[in-house]
Amino acid sequence: MNRLNRFALTGAAALAFAAGASLLVSVTTAVAEEPPSNQDMQLPPGWTPEDMQKMMEAGTPGEMHKFLAESIGTWRAETTMWMAPGAEPIKSTGTSKASPMMDGRYIKVEMSGEMPGMGMYNGFGIYGFNNLTEQFESTWIDNHSTGMMRGDGELASDGTTLTWTYNYMCPLTDKPCVMREIERVTGKNTKTLEMHGTDPKSGKEYKMMEIKFTRVGSERAS
């Protein structure tokens, strides 16, 4: 089925910073909704209103988050997988459900199905767009690996093709590997995903997997 390995966690210092930043964004969001008097709002020492505005902008969903939200819904997945270059294709089916998180700042994806010869497959991913780096970001985990896969994505100018670069450890070579994923929106309720990786035996890149998605039901169908 989908991705075979999937973000190493950041350090405690980064987590602490993120928590602090999140608190500031929450405060500034409340400010935006109901501006307090000067007596109610106290900026940190050395901070200016412009600094606070930057914090607000960094945490506010924008157009790229709307693009991610277009994937909300339940999708039927038809998967074709190749274990090695030139190998016979392995076909299977599954379900992918995309839901919003954190007031539209992130999308979570839960995927399930059967991987022929390997049993049930369950995967979980979080997708977002970082306003500061201006890149899409993703983390993926599944029940066939113990590592988190992390990636950065870039949307093409046509607004329909999102190309990801994922990093993970190859269990055969014990070395870092790179996987390319290409998502293409082919219609209001259809899309495709291609995965390209390096064959650990030959060192050549090949297409490992292709998934055709069709949205089920009426969500986002209009």
Count the neighbouring beta carbons within 10 Å of the beta carbon of residue 189: 18
CA gap 28, 209 in Å, rounded: 44
Q: What's the total number of domains in the chain?
A: 1
pLDDT at site 185: 98
What's the pLDDT band for 218 if we cut at 50, 70, 90?
low
What's the pLDDT band for 220 if we cut at 50, 70, 90?
low
Closest CA to 140 of 122, 155, 161: 122
Q: Inform me whether the pLDDT recorded for 16 exceeds 80.
A: no
CB 127 within 8 A of CB 152: no
What's the pLDDT band for 42 if we cut at 50, 70, 90?
confident
pLDDT at site 217: 85
CA gap 82, 90 in Å, rounded: 6
Reading the block at residue 99, the tokens are: 């839901």
For residue range 82-141, list pLDDT tens digits in order: 999 999 999 999 999 999 999 999 999 999 999 888 899 999 999 999 999 999 999 999
What's the pLDDT band for 40 if we cut at 50, 70, 90?
low
Print the SS3 string covering 151-210: EEEEECCCCCEEEEEEEEECCCCCCEEEEEEEEEEEECCEEEEEEEEECCCCCCEEEEEE
Q: Whole domain around residue 42: which residue ranges?
A: 1-222
What's the pLDDT band for 219 if we cut at 50, 70, 90?
low
CA gap 200, 183 in Å, rounded: 24
Indicate which CATH number applies to the domain containing 128.
2.40.128.20
Q: Inform me whether the pLDDT recorded for 30 exceeds 70.
A: no
pTM of the model: 0.79
Beta-bridged to residue 190, according to DSSP, are 187, 214
Residue 99 CA, chain-centre distance (Å), reads 12
Range picked from 15-19, 41-45, 90-94 for highest mean pLDDT: 90-94
CA gap 172, 27 in Å, rounded: 48
